[in-house]
Amino acid sequence: MSAQSNSKIKFVFVGLAALILGLTFALPTSSQAADQIVWRLDYFLPRLDPETIMIQQHCDEIFEFTEGRLKIEVYPSFSLKLNPRTQLKNLKDGLMEIAVMNVQMLEGQEPSLAVTEAMGVWPSKEAEAKAVEALYPFKKRVYADPWGCHFVATKMMCVQDTGIFSATKPLKTLDDLKGFKLRMSTRRQLEPLKSLGAAPQAMPSGEVYMALKTGVLDGAVSGSRILIYQKWAEVVKYGLERSLAGALAQDVVVNQKAWDSIPRDIQEVVTMVFTAMAERSKVMAVMPGTSASWRRQCEAMGVTYYDLSNEEESRLDDVYAEKWYEDLKKATERTKEAWDVVKPFTKKKM
């Protein structure tokens, strides 16, 4: 065999040996794999939504800062296949270890956690943000007992303004809503919208695009970001904006047994990362930059916007507030207790 052939054989052998050695070091050992903790996080928004991306980024930070000891797997669009209406019980029962829960979806299980979603009662988004923060001690107690969970922080969705969007006709005043078939985003909007003469209905967000396109709906209540990320801007023509949204709070909560099972240094990392996420989201929710950016993008796609006058804005707030205070009279004692905490930040003291 020639020297050249021997040289090639040695080269191939050395290359294979290096590859095997590299793979050996790259793959986790059985000890490392056994030490890694994996938590599942069931989330309601799709993977490419900015809110989901934000959560994924912070879960990645936790993985990095714990040197791979804690991995949080995010399941967007509730792809863990658990019942979203029992999300709090799912967490308590250990069907997932961690959740970032939209508190509006918890009203059927623990309505006290959703008092910051009252609409028409806040003088500003800043006041809402202060109410969200003031509720922290109450949430820590209620999540612990009766729900057996550890409360970490509350993030706010990065939406300042909500609006009513139309695929059929311009919306310039609240009177234009009479007979208007629109999809509402929360239960709290049902009676107020009816009182304005609209025909609101519930519908999963994934069905709205086709309903707008085929005329099943005239419009929908949402924020401009949804027009972009769920492609509603392809069928929506007009927007009536500047109506204040709820706080859109989302609580970061961990199953208590899962929390107690991780070392203290990992607990500190989880708390640090999600507290930072909560603070960042609060700033984005209060300041108009993100909402204005989404509106500009929608306008570039052909959506024509109108803004409510101050008088119409006040009228809309009064309609929402009246319904909220009516519901509050029938609320549970724990919900009334939570309301007492946030009441100082409202514009109507009751």
Same domain (yes/no): 65, 127: yes
In this predicted structure, the answer to whether residue 24 has a pLDDT above a threshold of 60 is: no
Q: Which of 346, 326, 324, 349 is nearest to 114 (CA)?
A: 324
pTM of the model: 0.86
**Within a domain: residue 229?**
yes
Same domain (yes/no): 89, 208: no
Domain with 258, as residue range(s), is: 35-158+247-286
Average pLDDT, the chain: 89
pLDDT of residue 189: 87
Over residues 275-279, mean pLDDT: 98
The structure tokens listed for 259 are: 């929390």
- What is the C-alpha to C-alpha distance for residues 348 and 198, in angstroms, rounded to an integer? 26
**Within a domain: residue 303?**
yes
Same domain (yes/no): 328, 264: no
Same domain (yes/no): 293, 173: yes
In degrees rounded to 5, what are phi and psi of residue 217? -115, 150
- What is the C-alpha to C-alpha distance for residues 100 and 52, in angstroms, rounded to an integer? 10
Q: 26: which residues sit within 8 A by CB, 6+ positions away? A: none
Same domain (yes/no): 232, 329: yes
Same domain (yes/no): 133, 266: yes
pLDDT of residue 27: 45
Same domain (yes/no): 280, 297: no
**Within a domain: residue 104?**
yes
Terminal CA-to-CA distance of the chain, rounded, Å? 97
**Within a domain: residue 111?**
yes
Same domain (yes/no): 148, 40: yes
CATH of the domain at 265: 3.40.190.170
pLDDT of residue 288: 85
**Within a domain: residue 20?**
no
Q: Which of 37, 73, 92, 91 is nearest to 261 (CA)?
A: 37
Same domain (yes/no): 205, 253: no
pLDDT tens per residue, range 123-172:
999 999 999 999 999 999 999 999 999 999 999 998 767 889 999 999 99
Radius of gyration of the chain (CA): 25
pLDDT of residue 36: 96
**Within a domain: residue 1?**
no
In this predicted structure, the answer to whether residue 246 has a pLDDT above a threshold of 70 is: yes
pLDDT tens per residue, range 55-69:
999 999 999 999 999
Same domain (yes/no): 124, 240: no
In this predicted structure, the answer to whether residue 244 has a pLDDT above a threshold of 50 is: yes
- What is the C-alpha to C-alpha distance for residues 233 and 245, in angstroms, rounded to an integer? 20
Over residues 13-27, mean pLDDT: 40
Over residues 305-323, mean pLDDT: 92
Same domain (yes/no): 183, 263: no
Under the banding of pLDDT at 50, 70 and 90, the label for residue 33 is low
pLDDT of residue 188: 84
Same domain (yes/no): 273, 307: no
Under the banding of pLDDT at 50, 70 and 90, the label for residue 35 is confident
Q: CB 264: neighbour CB atoms within 10 A? A: 7
pLDDT tens per residue, range 185-231:
888 888 999 999 999 999 988 899 999 999 999 999 998 988 998 89
pLDDT of residue 241: 81
Q: 40: which residues sit within 8 A by CB, 6+ positions away? A: 72, 73, 75, 80, 96, 97, 98
Please name the helix (run of DSSP H) or strand (run of DSSP E) that holds residue 130, with its range, or none: helix 125-134
Percent of the chain with pLDDT over 90: 72
**Within a domain: residue 7?**
no
Q: 235: which residues sit within 8 A by CB, 6+ positions away? A: 167, 209, 212, 213
pLDDT tens per residue, range 66-107:
999 999 999 999 999 999 999 999 999 999 999 999 999 998
Domain count, the chain: 2
**Within a domain: residue 4?**
no
Percent of the chain with pLDDT over 70: 88
